[in-house]
């Protein structure tokens, strides 16, 4: 158990809909990362937060947004969903958000867009 | 264009064999990490290397960071079925940069 909690584990929805994925980082970790994993694209970096502030951004679509709340949990919002958004979404956390730190990953949310 | 390349993409070997997988790029990195991911789970960190030429050992696994800090290798001695998984390398340009993962090497060790 990594200590990172992601909910829900599975999500099935239709095209055009909006969903929210939730992540609770490990106790004491200030930084949260979101990644998208699909068979053809691998593990793609979406966005990173540190103590409530955005620290780094990857190729995150404009239809996607995220935030980290004062209690350090994070949410990833996906809107106007398309078939291609079907993927496994991972949240990870680390103590201070430095790149040589260990990232602790949750078990992921499997999103299926039908 | 892939920032990171990993080879081979797939590898299937018999228990007891040795193997090496590679992570390559044309860019220089401040640090490089290796993770292993099992089906249905998130990646788990195996090692972090930060110094060019650095070699680290973790039981039967040997990790090496290239002298120029652009590439790395992971060697497994006497592979076991428990080594089966997706091996991912991850890099960052600076200490505060985003952490980017390679496409991975999928290893299957057959009993």
Kindly report the nearest CA distance between residue B41 and chain A, in angstroms: 5
Three-class SS of residue A1?
coil
Question: Per the CB < 8 Å rule, is B95 touching A33?
Answer: no
Summarised one tens digit per residue, pLDDT across range A16-38 is 999 999 999 999 999 999 999 99
pLDDT over 70, % of chain A: 100
CB of B20 closer than 8 Å to CB of B84: no
Segment A83-105 shows an average pLDDT of 92
Summarised one tens digit per residue, pLDDT across range B51-72 is 999 999 999 999 999 999 999 9
Confidence of residue B2 (pLDDT cuts 50, 70, 90): low
Confidence of residue B94 (pLDDT cuts 50, 70, 90): low
Q: Which residues of B touch A (CB under 8 A)?
A: 30-31, 33, 35, 40-45, 48, 50, 88, 90, 92, 94-104
Nearest CA in chain B to A97: B96
Summarised one tens digit per residue, pLDDT across range A39-88 is 888 899 999 999 999 999 998 999 999 999 999 999 999 999 999 999 99
The reported pLDDT for the residue numbered A1 is 85
Segment B82-100 shows an average pLDDT of 85
Contacts of B45 in chain A (CB under 8 A): 102-103
Segment B73-96 shows an average pLDDT of 90
Out of B94, B95, B99, whose CB is closest to A103? B99
The reported pLDDT for the residue numbered B28 is 86
DSSP A71: T
Segment B17-41 shows an average pLDDT of 92
Per-chain mean pLDDT for chain B:
92
Q: Which residues of A touch B (CB under 8 A)?
A: 2, 4, 33, 35, 42-45, 48, 55-58, 90, 92, 97-100, 102-103, 105-108
Nearest CA in chain A to B38: A107
């Amino acid at each position: 158990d990594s200590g990172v909690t992601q909910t829900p584990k599975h999500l099935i929805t239709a095209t055009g809909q909006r969903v929210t994925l939730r992540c609770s980082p490990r106790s004491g970790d200030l930084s949260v990362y979101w990644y998208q994993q699909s068979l053809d694209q691998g593990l793609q970096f979406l966005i990173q937060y540190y103590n409530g502030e955005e620290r780094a951004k990857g190729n995150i679509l404009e239809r996607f947004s995220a935030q980290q709340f004062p209690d350090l949990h994070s949410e990833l919002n996906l809107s106007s969903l398309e078939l291609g958004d079907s993927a496994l979404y991972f949240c990870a956390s680390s103590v201070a958000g430095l790149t040589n730190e260990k990232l602790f990953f949750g078990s992921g949310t499997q999103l299926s867009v039908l | 264009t892939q920032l990171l390349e990993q080879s081979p993409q797939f590898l299937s070997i018999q228990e007891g064999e040795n193997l090496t997988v590679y992570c390559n790029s044309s860019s220089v990195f401040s640090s490089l990490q290796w993770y292993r991911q099992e089906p249905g789970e998130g990646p788990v960190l195996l090692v972090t290397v930060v110094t060019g030429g650095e070699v680290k050992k973790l039981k039967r696994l040997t990790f090496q960071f290239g002298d120029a800090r652009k590439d790395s290798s992971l060697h497994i001695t006497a592979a076991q079925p428990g080594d089966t998984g997706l091996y991912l390398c991850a890099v960052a340009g600076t200490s505060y940069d985003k952490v980017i993962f390679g496409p991975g090497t999928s290893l299957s060790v057959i009993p």
